[in-house]
Structure 1
Amino acid sequence: MPQINSLFVTRLYRANLAELGKSPTPEQLEDTCLAIAEDDTAGQDWCEENQFPGYTSYASLDDLGWRDPVFKDLIKAIDKHVAAFATDLAFDLNGKKLKLDSIWINILPQGGIHTSHIHPHSVISGTTYVAVPKGAGALKLEDPRLPMMMAAPTRTKTAPDMLKTFVSIAPEPGEILLWESWLRHEVPMNMSDDDRISISFNYGWG
């Protein structure tokens, strides 16, 4: 019988945020995110100037863990998940730990999107989900080999996820997703009447 192995696997970590210990609830995070967004005039101005749909604190706030105790508790919870994922990935960290580099709030209204992108200069990136109304848009992940596929045929609709060119993950409030930062991803248009609220972050090393 022929032997067929899967090589160079792309890992995706998915868990309930509270699975590894105490963490803020989605309700606590939603109240905190909305309050910070309301007070963050610099972030609001940046979003308007750059025609960003909705709100992000990415370009305005770099102290969420200090700014609010809910975020301080959230970061402690995320740290545990990132450490677990780093172990799964068999990273040789030479006795060091991956450290939080940045964390920011995303509030996407109806019609809002996050176009396809990667997170340069980071090791692990991820998102924890606060409010995901029906129709708000899944996380769409792209096969990192796509630019090299050249004349490869498209995949069948029944292909397993490990062979698809794109995989969409529909997260639930209270979940956390982690991936290696080189993995290209996007959030399709929010087709819901309600806001999609999430908190994204990057971890680096060295």
Structure 2
Amino acid sequence: MSQIRSLFATRLYRAQLSEQAPAIDTDELEASCWSIAEDDEAGQEWCEANGYPGYTSYASLTDLPWRFPIFADLVAALDKHVMAFAEDLEFDLGEKTLVLEDLWINILPEGGTHSSHIHPHSVISGTTYVAMPDGTSALKLEDPRLGYMMAAPARRKGCREELKTFIYEAPKVGDVLLWESWLRHEVPPNMSEEERISVSFNYKWE
């Protein structure tokens, strides 16, 4: 009898931050993101010099949990989500664990985009969503085999999710998405007139 199986799964974790204590006030988190963005002159200069749309603290600040207590609460919740995902992935962590490597703010204006990329040297990456106005962009995830498909025909419209070349995941405010750091992803142009605000992060194994 013939048999067809799906191999080499690519896992995506999605949950509400509130599923893991402490609870996070997204209004306070949004206000904190704006406050930091307005004061971070080094970050503003980096964004301008590098043609980065909107604002990111990625290249300027490494101490968000020290600056605002709500980011410390956020990390405490993320730690639990990440360990739940690691359990699903059946990682053998041995005597090591997964620890936060970096955490940064993204404020994406109308028309702003984050081009396709991966997060080298990390194990799990993710984003939690602070402001997602109507019309803003979903997260676009790319099949990691895409570069090897060469002469393969396109998939049929409406094919099964695990066979699609790209997945568009539309998170809501308060959601957290996690994926393995080798998974290529991007944020298509923000079509909303309002800013799309998120906090992204990487976890490493040590």
Match of 1:9 in 2: 9
* Amino acid paired to 2:94: N
Alignment of 1:1-206 (within 5 A): 1-206=1-206
Cα distance per residue 1:159-205 (max 9 Å; x no partner): 11100000000000000000000000000000100000000000001
Q: 4+ runs of 1 displaced by more than 3 Å?
A: none
Q: How big is the shift at 1:20?
A: 1.9
Aligned Cα root-mean-square deviation (Å): 0.7
State how many pairs are aligned: 206
Instruction: Give SS of 1:6's match.
Output: coil
Normalising by structure 2, what TM-score?
0.98
* Amino acid paired to 1:195: E
Q: Distance in 2 between matches of 1:76 and 1:66?
A: 13
Q: Distance in 1 between matches of 2:127 and 2:48?
A: 23
Instruction: Give SS of 1:177's match.
Output: strand
Cα distance per residue 1:18-53 (max 9 Å; x no partner): 112223122111011000101101100110111111
Instruction: Give SS of 1:15's match.
Output: strand
Q: Distance in 2 between matches of 1:86 and 1:25?
A: 25
Cα distance per residue 1:117-160 (max 9 Å; x no partner): 00000000000000011111000000000001111111111111
* Amino acid paired to 1:155: R
Q: Distance in 2 between matches of 1:130 and 1:2?
A: 48
Q: Taking every aligned residue pair, what percent have the same amino acid on both sides?
A: 66
* Amino acid paired to 1:90: E
Q: Distance in 1 between matches of 2:108 and 2:174?
A: 17
Gaps spanning 5+ residues in structure 2: where?
none
Q: Distance in 2 between matches of 1:37 and 1:16?
A: 25
Gaps spanning 5+ residues in structure 1: where?
none
Instruction: Give SS of 1:202's match.
Output: strand
Q: How big is the shift at 1:2?
A: 2.1
Cα distance per residue 1:87-112 (max 9 Å; x no partner): 10010111221000000000000010
Q: Distance in 2 between matches of 1:14 and 1:170?
A: 11
Instruction: Give SS of 2:110's match.
Output: coil
Instruction: Give SS of 1:105's match.
Output: strand
* Amino acid paired to 1:69: P
